[in-house]
Structures are given as C-alpha cells and as structure tokens.
Amino acid sequence: MFSFGQLIFGAFFFIAFVGVIIYSYQSDKKRLPNYFKGSYKVLVGFLIAFCFLVLVKYLTQR
C-alpha cells in the first residue's frame, strides 16, 4: 500500500509533529495557565473516542 520511503517519511513527520505540539503546549501552559485547566479531560475523551472507533472497526470487520 505504501512504499518503504513513504512509511519512513510518515514516521519522521509524526514524531516531529508530536514534538512540536508538545513543545508548544508546554510553553503556552507556562505563559497562560488559566486556559489549560482541565485540558487532560479533553485528551482522555479523545483517547476514549479513538479506542471506541477502533473497537467498532475491529468488530465490524469480522
């Protein structure tokens, strides 16, 4: 489906993207702490929704 080079590029892009997002989040959280109270709840909700979608796809593929 993807060539080896495309997979390598995708992996590096994902790692770089996540690194930039984490760096930006940490620097913004230090400058504007009031805007980030309870932000972990959004992350938990996103992870639950993602796991639910993966579960639905797995159950419907059988």
- What is the band of 5 on the pLDDT scale with cuts at 50, 70, 90? very high
Give pLDDT, residue 36: 82
At residue 44, does pLDDT exceed 90? yes
In the chain, domain spans: 1-31, 38-62
Predicted local confidence at residue 17, as pLDDT: 97
Binning pLDDT at 50, 70 and 90, where does residue 59 land?
very high
- Distant-in-sequence, close-in-space partners of 36: CB < 8 Å, separation ≥ 6: 25, 28, 29
Is the pLDDT reported for residue 35 higher than 80? yes
3-state secondary structure 10-60: HHHHHHHHHHHHHHHHHHHHHHCHHHHCCHHHHHHHHHHHHHHHHHHHHHH
32 or 55, higher pLDDT: 55
